[in-house]
Structure 1
């Protein structure tokens, strides 16, 4: 992000008004490693305005990538986060995820031994909800606040910098995204009792211009000038700023009716008594019509939405609620909500969607822990395979290719499914396949961040590396997809149940792949070869991508010989030459011996 034009966005919410002016430039440097993003909400169900700024670290040549990623991703994830989460829970969960993803990217790069040169940046976030301001801070940016009833601006952040032991005049950044596996986050909340102005700036601005006096003047003005941020940035540049310069100014005018200043959700995480929802219950404009499924972890219902005037008839939805035992732990409840958060990040016709309350037209925030997803008509692939015990190879290819597309959509968003099996796939009457359960899903770059299950999903479909205590990768999902292919083709498993009992790699290496070839079914040898490679116990020896595996199921690999062929068939000319030479040699020997 090299330079942004100044912007002003007035939005009326009841009597309140908000104005934003933002500007960023590279200054004297070749690259702008700063970045910013913001979102002005017009949604009454989620009335939070989000402002994010990131400052790159000068020791890194790729810090601008981290800054752009952190700012844009924060706004995106915040707007689709579970409605039951408080502002604090949302923001801290997102910052921890951003840190984990940047840290993993650095560890996988050439900067693994010098993380300060990798994908690192600072991050400061200001969130306005009604009259409440929440600030989350990592690094050395500044957030300042001035209000009508205050005598001077308030500094809401403190720089995460340490003084050098060898050179006391020098300081160094002690906390930033992407440097360490864990991140320390400062959180400050402030109630706005009068109209206020907020400034979020990188050190290239606030170290060269005095913002407090300027903020007082801005707060006293009737509106925020469109180019105010640009003017202040240029003033800092003229004062000798030798860094990138970024400034966000937010002017928040509060009327007589200020709205709610409560950023906490309606749902209490530590609620001692949790009433299980049952068929017939009505909650938040949703009626639970029929129970589809029940387990020790959750209950699943088909539900209808309350009709609103002027709207068309709405399709049924699926509501998943936690069981009584599962709901006793706040941590477990948060894990329960992660499933819908992951689903909202995806855009694939082969993965179930989890709409927000706003998209559903609901007028109330959720008052209990539950997740909503689209209702997918059809039957599970488990039932389909029972009804179709001998599907054709083409039918299986079609199913696996659809499930593979769903997995590819997840992998593009950095999400692993980790529980591909027939029960988690719906197939419609027209043959359309949809992955419906993301309860075991995790981030590829931080598998343990949202899930602590050592062996996710069903053991018969789990990849071998999970049994060794290793984290999964995209090749783990590939293994599960290959197991599913083998199961649909043969009705059994390539290693039976032996794989789940192998807890060392040496034990796994002793396992023998059982061929899918069957004299009763016309299965090409090259299909069996493709399955054998995809089902290798060593992840490094499987296909590198899902697309490669899907291609190999449909097209034979001419470089891979899948069955023994006689030498005369493979190299006939060579065999004929050898035979001729042998005959000549035998004739010569005969002539010599008998003459």
Structure 2
């Protein structure tokens, strides 16, 4: 991406300029991972400290935004930064003599623009404005948060630092080469008409955007503006190609490793033996010759080494692993020497997969199941905090070591919001997870949410308690909303295990085909597995006709059919017998 920025600010007829503005145009890799940020804050005239709020809000955004996780989406990153700034400014007001007069405290308006890949992200609080000029047409992208009391009197309804909670307007729109964005405070836009803005922006004074911004400010001042005046102009000169919008989606220059065998020395490791091989990857136990530690090496599948999409996802596994710090997530090894081949090195877990554990423990008690599920949920929460979805949670991707610690080990299907928002999408992609454990919404072509991972965890919980799947293979066959409404949950209760009836109600909720009907969070699900709620205990006591109407009426029909048969038999006797 390449942009040109022009800016100008003037205190106008006031003694102090309470506006503050700035722009950050980073170099790679931040340019691709975080984008370009522009921000404008406008202090309010009734406050003598509002200029402090303006500077703090803008500088905090431009500095702290680039310190947020590059796994986060732009929306989450900016909102986290602005929420923190709002809390600090509001607390300063509460500790000042102006705590009972918010209009004199540390408050300001803020409008910000983040240009990442081929998308513009707009954030807005207050009455400064953001415009877009496209094809000669000027469009206002923000809504003024101002309440008009009368023709000459109004007040701000929203501002940074004004209240303990901050409500931020946000929307995203596609970028086009040649787009022009204008950020302006009310001291400017209230005194220059849209026609003048369009004409001035189209002329652009031979490409000198600073001079163009100065001309707009001077015109507003000439027309009688009595406020501070600030204008920022951003011209999109060049956009990244769709195939190169994200540096993490580039196929590496490292060659694929050779076929590895036991006792072979490879890139500073000695291969001990092959642990697992599939169509997706080859996994080996090895010894790091520098530290003498046991490690696991994962290499690309021989059959897929010419598949760019596969190699991109293989690259992403290590990228994801290095950003997760949790005892229940597989840890990558530190890279202490130059790497000459494409592979991933991780810690060695001395244990077994959950699949094997279930075969060795076909009827675990409820408390053991709770312990396993809670550890998996703890690892999943590390993904969700960074706006990542695992998308392929299944027993083969979970390890239990000799101490009983549970770890999630495979990230090949992980979706990262911060990277996914830059990818070119032509429609719904394939279901990356294993069909038996994937949430129903994936089969409708939906992107999935944290509740999709919750569904997968609930399937594993159900399987641990019953040895079977809640819907069998029917979920992957239900590819329409109507078909999914016909999915019938089969109770986890049976005569062979002592499982409280309310546990079945918890699982029924977590496994609902509609994600909005499931638990809102993983913590809610794990809490409900230990603490019976009234809604679940009352559900367990409800008659069968309310719990499962289909099953009830099937039973009634079967009983009636049997009664009819017996009546006919009594009336006419057995076939072949004299009446």
What's the offset of the Cα at 1:283?
3.4
Looking at structure 2, the residues matched to 58 and 490 of structure 1 have their Cα atoms a distance apart, in angstroms, of 59
Residues 480 and 506 (structure 1 numbering): CA distance in 2 closer, same or farther, change over 3 Å?
same
Alpha-carbon deviation of 1:56? 2.3
Separation in structure 2 between the aligned mates of residue 355 and residue 421 of structure 1, nearest angstrom: 24
Cα-Cα RMSD: 4.8
Query: Residues of 2 paired with 1:285 and 1:38: CA distance?
Result: 33
- Asked if structure 1 preserves the Cα contact closer than 8 Å seen for 2:61 and 2:78, the reply is no
Structure showing the higher helix proportion among its residues: 2
Assess, with a 3 A threshold, how the Cα gap between structure 1 residues 205 and 487 changes in structure 2: closer, same or farther.
farther
Q: Quick check: 1:396–1:488 contact (8 Å CA) kept in 2?
A: yes
Deviation by residue 1:102-161 (Cα, 9 ceiling, x = unmatched)? 7999xxxxxxxxxxx98632579xxxxxxxxxxx9999xxxxxxxxxxxxxxxxxxxxx9
Q: Is the 8 A contact 2:429 2:445 kept in 1?
A: no
DSSP-derived class of the 2:297 partner: strand
Aligned to 2:150: none
Q: In the alignment, what sits opposite 1:527?
A: 503
Question: Is 1:478 aligned with 2:449?
Answer: no
Q: Report the secondary structure of 1:325's partner residue.
A: helix
**Unmatched tracts of structure 1, length 5 or more:** 1-25, 40-45, 78-93, 106-116, 125-135, 140-160, 186-202, 209-239, 245-263, 308-312, 567-595
Are 2:309 and 1:287 equivalent residues in the alignment? no
Q: CA contact under 8 A between 1:486 and 1:516: conserved in structure 2?
A: yes
> CA 1:466–1:57 in 2, change beyond 3 Å: closer, same or farther?
farther
Q: Which residue of 2 aligns with 1:71?
A: 66
Among 398, 403, 411, the alignment partner of 1:438 is 411
Does the alignment pair 1:563 with 2:540? yes
Identify the residue that residue 489 of structure 1 maps to in structure 2.
465
Distance 1:385 1:482 in 2: 15
Pairwise CA distance, 1:306: 2.3
Match for residue 542 of structure 1? 518
Residue 457 of structure 1: how far off its partner (Å): 1.6
How far did 1:478 drift?
0.3
The number of aligned residues is 390
Quote the Cα distance in structure 1 between the aligned partners of 2:366 and 2:496.
Answer: 13
* Pairing partner for 2:114 from 110, 116, 121: 121
- State the secondary structure of the residue aligned to 1:562: helix
Closer, same or farther: CA 281–327 of 1 in aligned 2, 3 Å: farther
Whether the 8 Å CA contact 2:297–2:346 is kept in 1: the answer is yes
Q: What TM-score, normalized by structure 2, do the two folds share?
A: 0.57
Q: Deviations over 1:448-507 (max 9, x none)?
A: 867985212211101001111111100000000000000000000111111111111111
2:297: which partner in 1? 319
Check conservation: 1:333, 1:369, Cα contact below 8 A: no
Equivalent in the alignment of 2:483: 507
SS of corresponding position for 1:528: helix
Equivalent residues of 1:287, 1:304 under 8 A apart: yes
Task: Give 2:236's aligned residue.
Answer: none
How is 1:256-271 mapped onto 2 (pairs within 5 angstroms)? 269=252
Q: Deviations over 1:244-270 (max 9, x none)?
A: 9xxxxxxxxxxxxxxxxxxx99x9857
CA-CA distance at 1:400 after TM superposition: 0.1
How many Å separate the matches in 1 of 2:176 and 2:310? 22
Change over 3 Å in CA distance of 1:346–1:31 after alignment to 2:
farther
| Superposed CA offset, 1:58-113 (max 9, x none) | 79x9988874565224xx65xxxxxxxxxxxxxxxx9xx866977999xxxxxxxx
Residues 1:498 and 2:491 aligned together: no
Query: What is the alpha-carbon distance in structure 2 between the residues aligned to residue 534 and residue 507 of structure 1?
Result: 19
